[in-house]
Chains A and B, each alone.
Chain A
Amino acid sequence: MTRHLTHRFWLCFLIGWGGLSVAVLTRNLDMAAVGAPFLAALTLSLIDGWWPVVTPVSVAVSSSRVVEGDEVDFTFTFQAAQRAVADIEVQLPGTFEATTTTRMVDVVTDTAELKIRARAVRWGASGPEWIVIITRDRLAVSERIMRCPVEMSVRVHPPAEFLSTLIPLYRERPVTGEHRSRAKGTGSEFAEVRPYRYGDSIRMIHPQLTARRGTPMVIERHPDRSSTMVLLVDSAQDLGVGLETTLRWTVTAAMALGARHLQAQDRLGLLDVGHTLRWVPARLGRRHLHTVVDALLATEVTVRQPQSEQGNAPLELPANLPPSATIITISPLLSESTLSLLVALRSRGHEIIVIKPTVPDPADDVSPLARRIFDVGNRLNEQWLRHRGAMIIPWSPNESLQHILSRVIPKLARGRVGT
């Protein structure tokens, strides 16, 4: 908070003081008379009370969750200790675009309200950043500038698609789910027909088959199992312009995959790998989906710490990362920290599936040589990871993720693609 004497103070002071001085020197009241209203303005504003205070009381929002393109109303309420002219301006983040004015000038006697309508233009979790209140006395001789940070966040969801395909089961949990287990037991999916063996329950004998073949027959089924999945989101970089960026695609894909796997009774964790590491432990349920989605919406590219502070220490994996978890990575595979973390996870025995969004085309002024070097480096990274046993699914975000997965998953279930 700062307070100032405005230009009006100095104007009144100079003209009033100057008029008085000239009047004294020339022994004529005329010039003092010209300055008299200015002196009167100073006196009146002093009587009115200098440096009045107007403070924000509350901030309300019409909806705390919206989808990109939706409009949201913010309502700010202010309170004045004394009657003051308030010049109020609200600063919105880049994720919102105001459709009404964000500034108000009015006399605040008791309370005042400012309503702002804004369109969510980009995904994320953010809200109004600052309220700047300039309060002046009625003749604007003194002013107080108050900058108040706003702690409010509206979650803007990118439009995510609904998936019907699941990433296949590599290590099952002994809990019923939607994945077809390779083992045989009680379930709904047909596995094989075999003769009755010693030790089988009599209930397992299939009457029709037994009657047809003349010997006791049993139908084996695959049990439906669940698994533990960890979404690894690469937030080390955000390449692209506007809405066509790698981080947006990453978050969109992670949200769709997360929702699908939680629906399939899988335990789901989230590992956000940027220049630091954020970990949401694996859990089940609809409530956990909200936690994961909120964490995904809060994903952003963090500023790299200076070398002296961070050093070259590799990112440490969380201690409670389930050893049987399948790691679904969504990453353009450009960051060294992400690559080394994936190798570390693979060496611990985790199955790693990488969904690799295509990197948007660079600007025209990038030389072809630089582009080639970038492509070669990118391909080497991919190969390096494949040799360590990771499965990489290239994904052009113009194409539906469901379409890609439904094409690739049957091959994944049998073995590995692209290795």
Chain B
Amino acid sequence: MNNLTRSLIERLRSVLEHIADHHAAPELLVAVIIMTGWAAAGFADFGFFAVIAAIVFGWLLHGVAAETGGFGWLWLSTGVLLLYIVFARSTVLAGTSPVWMAAAGATALAYNEAVRTNHWRRRRARTGVAAFTGSVAAVLAAGLLGMAGMAAAQFVADGAQSGRWWQPLAAATLFGLAVSLLVLPTLRSPESSRERWTPGTRLPAPPKPK
């Protein structure tokens, strides 16, 4: 075995150890399963190689998001997952009710939450189990509420038959208005600051009491 081979094997071993140490947490495994599942479902009709390419791309984005702990990458990987769900609408979710689409949306939310909670571990925080279980419960509740909401919307839409589209339009407008009412005071509040303290940043020592 020459030096090049030996160094390559060493490098590979260290990469595998790193993956085992940092990417084998339960929440990340759940996130990987979600990403893989939707990549496979989204590209099922495009052939074997497309499925493999979609899975590898999803894994790459997921790996970067988990490794860097950056919210930008987390947004991107969640966005790609949503894209896979949109693609899957034409395959596994074709012709299903909006309730199933809401369930699919809930998995995207779960994926985002799983990677976010993993950031706590990455920064070597002492993490309580309640924080993880609370996250799971919150995502489940959001998913169930979303599904229930869509079931209700489906019922209303079926009942109306004529499709009174001013209703969702009005709902969207009201929702936008409500959010603006919440966001604007927050942004204008004296407590709000653009300078968000990033965890881990060292602050200058406070002045000593005289």
A286 to B204, CA, bound (A): 36
The reply to whether the CB of B8 lies closer than 8 angstroms to some CB of chain A is no
Contact status A34-B168, CB under 8 Å: no
**Binary contact track A126-157/B, C-beta < 8 Å → 1, others 0:** 00011010100011101011010111000000
Contact status A36-B150, CB under 8 Å: yes
* Interface 9-mer from A87-95, A209-217, A259-267, A277-285: A87-95
* Interface 9-mer from B16-24, B42-50, B125-133: B125-133
- Chain A interface residue count, CB cutoff 8 Å, equals 63
Which residues on the A side are within 8 Å of B78 (C-beta)? Answer: 11
A104-132 interface with B by 8 A CB criterion: 104-107, 114, 129-130, 132
Query: Known contacts A2-B197, A7-B71, A20-B168: does B192 contact A30 (CB below 8 Å)?
Result: no
Known: A15-B105, A36-B98. 6 other contacts (CB 8 A): A7-B75, A24-B169, A29-B98, A33-B150, A40-B143, A139-B113
Query: Known contacts A13-B179, A129-B206: does B98 contact A20 (CB below 8 Å)?
Result: no
* Identity of the chain A residue whose Cβ is nearest the Cβ of B203 in the assembled complex: A130
Which residues on the A side are within 8 Å of B154 (C-beta)? Answer: 29
**Binary contact track B124-150/A, C-beta < 8 Å → 1, others 0:** 111110110011011101110111011
Contact status A37-B169, CB under 8 Å: no
Contact status A37-B120, CB under 8 Å: no
The reply to whether the CB of A44 lies closer than 8 angstroms to some CB of chain B is yes
Question: Taking each of B102, B116, B124, which has the highest tally of chain A beta carbons within 10 Å of its own beta carbon?
Answer: B102
- Chain B interface residue count, CB cutoff 8 Å, equals 73
- 3 smallest beta-carbon distances between A and B, as pairs: A106-B128, A37-B146, A33-B101
The reply to whether the CB of A17 lies closer than 8 angstroms to some CB of chain B is yes
Chain B residues near A (Cβ < 8 Å): 71, 74-75, 78, 82, 85-86, 89, 98-102, 104-106, 108-109, 112-113, 116, 120, 123-128, 130-131, 134-135, 137-139, 141-143, 145-147, 149-150, 153-154, 157, 163, 165, 168-169, 171-172, 175-176, 179, 182-183, 186-187, 189, 191-193, 195-197, 199-200, 202-203, 205-206, 209
A46 to B179, CA, bound (A): 11
In the complex, what's the smallest C-beta–C-beta distance from A172 to chain B, in angstroms? Answer: 38
